[in-house]
Amino acid sequence: MPSPDDGDLGAPDPKIVVPEEVADAVRTLIRWAGDDPDREGLLDTPARVARAWKEYARGYEEDPAVHLARTFDEVGGYDEIVLLKDIPFQSHCEHHMAPIIGKASIAYLPRDRVVGISKLARVLHGFSRRLQVQERLTAQVADCICEHLQPKGVAVVIEASHACMTARGVGTPGVMMTTSRMMGTFRSDERSRREVLALMGY
C-alpha cells in the first residue's frame, strides 16, 4: 500500500498570470473597505490575493474520484474497518468566502478491495478546496467513496470552525460544527455505527 502523503502544495505559484480585471476587483474591494490600494503596503496585494484564491479553489480543477481509481485486493483477507482519523483540511464558505478550518475522519468497511490511505485525504481535499458548506462537503466525500469503492459501509465525520461565525456576525469564537454521513452498514446496523464512531473518538 502506498505511503501516506498530504498532497499539499506550497505557496501560490508566483508565475500565475493574474488577469487585470481580477486585480481590479481586489483593488475595488480594498477601496470599498476604506483603504488606499495605491499605498505602498497594498500595491502587490491584488496579485497576491488572486494567486491565493487560485490555490484555495484548486479543487475545481480536479475530479476527486480519480484518486480512488487504483485499488488493491491483496489484503490478506482483511475485512474490518479502515479509518483515517483527524485529517486536517481548510475550505471557504460559499456565503461569505470566509475560512472553514477543521478535521475529518473517514472510514469504510471494505468489500473486496482497499485504496491507498493517502487517497482518502486527497478526496477530502479535492472537495474542500472549493466554495463549500460543511453539510455538502460531508456528503460529497462519503458519496464519492461509496460510489467508487463500493464498500459495505462508509462513515464520514467532519468538525470545523467557521470564520463567518467566529470572526463576524454573531462573533462567537471557539465554536465547532459537527456533521456526519453514514452509509451502508454504518447506517443500517447500530452496532457497526457505534463501533466506527468509537474508533473515531465519538
Catalytic residues: 93-96, 134, 162, 164
pLDDT for res 7: 42
What is the three-class DSSP state of 89?
strand
Round to whole Å and give the CA distance between 43 and 22.
14
Round to whole Å and give the CA distance between 178 and 45.
34
Note the pTM of the prediction, 2 decimals: 0.89
Distances (CA, A) of 24 to 46, 47, 54: 7, 9, 16
pLDDT tens digits, one per residue of 108-159: 999 988 999 999 999 999 999 999 999 999 999 999 999 999 999 999 999 9
